Amino acid sequence: MNNLASYIDHTLLASNATEEQIDKLCAEAVKHSFCSVCVNSGYVAYAYDKVKDSAVKVCSVVGFPLGSMDIAAKAYEAKLAITNGATEIDMVVNVGWLKSGRWDLVELDIEALREICEGVVLKVIFETALLEDSDIEKLCEICTKFKVDFVKTSTGFSTRGASLEDVILMKSSIGNGVSIKASGGIRDRAKAIEMIDAGATRLGTSSGVAIVAGLESATEGY
């Protein structure tokens, strides 16, 4: 597969990420023609300034990594990120509401972000490590209902990242127009291709350079 770079959201979401590291992330993304750089919302404006003269997009995580804040707070974070240059938003589902059976609130959360992200790509992070198969199936139904752009496996900050089984289940559960982003633990070319073959059309990883070079990365976490 010769176009792996186009699948990659080149990612740096560590709480101690420095401007120098964001500089490197953006330079690598431009050099290798990755789809986007994915950063915390506080770095969106900074990253946008670094990649604005290239085809690389800026993706911001929202409600990251727990997803457990108030809906209005999550929506406002998304709005600010878009104002600062993000054209893709990766929001985290409130797993606590889901586990409490408050699917009404889960729907309101996703719907609010869909409204904020008019004209902007919206990805919904499930955190599959914490979910039952039935939860994943129901979330896929909700995301299809609200016409989100992507369902996404993981934050990379929980007990595990993406699994092949997650992607296969998502693929069988989403409706037309919804794509899959696999993220967390994708550190080499073989794993990346495995996820794409299973149905992922975007990969969230901090190992993008190693993946396009055909190497195995020792990067921890995302």
Q: What is the 3 state secondary structure string of 153-206?
A: CCCCCCCCCCCHHHHHHHHHHCCCCCEEEEECCCCEHHHHHHHHHHCCCEEEEC
What's the whole-model pTM score?
A: 0.95
Say if 37 falls within a structural domain: yes
In a domain, 220, yes or no: no
In a domain, 63, yes or no: yes
135, 110 in Cβ contact below 8 A? no
Distance CA 75, CA 81 (A): 10
Tally of domains in the chain: 1
Residue 222 lies in a domain: no
Catalytic residue among 57, 74, 123, 181: 181
What's the confidence (pLDDT) of residue 219?
53
- Residue 81, in any domain of the structure: yes
pLDDT at 215: 72
Q: Give me the CATH number covering residue 139.
A: 3.20.20.70
Mark whether 149 is an active-site residue.
no
Residue 221: inside a domain: no
- Give dist(CA 42, CA 60) in Å, integer: 9
* 26-80 tens-digit pLDDT: 999 999 999 999 999 999 999 999 999 999 999 999 999 999 999 999 999 999 9
- List per-residue pLDDT tens for the chain, 222 residues long: 668 999 999 999 999 999 999 999 999 999 999 999 999 999 999 999 999 999 999 999 999 999 999 999 999 999 999 999 999 999 999 999 999 999 999 999 999 999 999 999 999 999 999 999 999 999 999 999 999 999 999 999 999 999 999 999 999 999 999 999 999 999 999 999 999 999 999 999 999 999 999 876 655 445
Q: Is residue 129 part of a domain?
A: yes
Burial of 219 (0-12, 13-18, 19+ CB in 10 A): middle
Whole-number CA gyration radius for the chain: 16
Three-class SS state of 97: helix
Indicate the SS3 state at residue 144.
helix
Q: Residue 140 sits in which domain range? A: 4-213
- CA 127 to CA 144: how far, in whole Å? 17
Residue 135: active-site member: no
Does residue 52 form part of some domain? yes
Active site residue 181: yes
What is the per-residue pLDDT for 217?
66
Which residues on neighbouring strands pair with residue 40, listed in sequence order?
A: 61
- Give the active site residue among 90, 135, 149, 166: 90
CB 92 within 8 A of CB 152: no
Let me know: does 210 contact 187? Beta carbons within 8 Å. yes
Which one of the listed residues 9, 152, 166, 191 is annotated catalytic?
A: 152
